[in-house]
């Protein structure tokens, strides 16, 4: 099955600095890589995703890069703000060709703290 490794497990940055979280996956059939932000006691919220036919995607202060050959993808947050503090999970997914549903395999998460 798929295995997703995520680093670092904790990350502290000063407000305004950039934060980078890295993930690797094992299954070359995985073709969809979402990133979720989860604040304490709340649901995981999709913040950005990338599909395997794209190398980079950006949405305002957030960007994701994907290297299919190396099987790794990264989340970049620029100009960090205190409200960016949360746990971030990467995930890898591929479609179950029979049922049409998707199995997300999550990384272990990164606790990001943005220090004002």
CA atoms within 13 A on the CB side of 1: 7
102 binds another protein (CB under 8 A): yes
**Residue in 46, 58, 79, 82 binding another protein, rule: CB under 8 A:** 46
Which residue, 63 or 78, is less far from another protein as judged by CB? 63
113 binds another protein (CB under 8 A): no
**Residue in 103, 113, 114, 115 binding another protein, rule: CB under 8 A:** 103
Which residues neighbour 55 within 8 Å (Cβ) at sequence distance 6 or greater? Answer: 65, 66, 67
Tell me which DSSP letter residue 84 carries: G
Which residue, 14 or 101, is less far from another protein as judged by CB? 101
107 binds another protein (CB under 8 A): yes
Beta-carbon count within 10 A of 53 CB: 8
Rounded-to-integer distance, Cα 59 and Cα 73, Å: 16
Binding positions for another protein, rule: CB under 8 A: 31-32, 34, 36, 42-46, 49, 51, 87, 89, 93-104, 106-109
């Amino acid at each position: 099955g798929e295995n997703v490794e995520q680093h670092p497990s904790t990350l502290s940055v000063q407000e305004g600095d950039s934060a980078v979280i890295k993930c690797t996956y094992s299954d070359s059939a995985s073709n969809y890589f979402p990133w979720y932000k989860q604040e304490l006691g709340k649901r995981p919220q999709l913040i950005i995703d990338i599909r395997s036919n794209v190398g980079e995607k950006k949405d305002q202060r957030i960007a994701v890069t994907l290297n299919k050959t190396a099987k790794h993808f990264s989340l970049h947050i620029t100009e960090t703000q205190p409200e960016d503090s949360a746990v971030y999970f990467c995930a890898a997914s591929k479609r179950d060709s029979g049922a049409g549903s998707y199995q997300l395999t999550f990384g272990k998460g990164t606790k990001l703290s943005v220090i004002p």
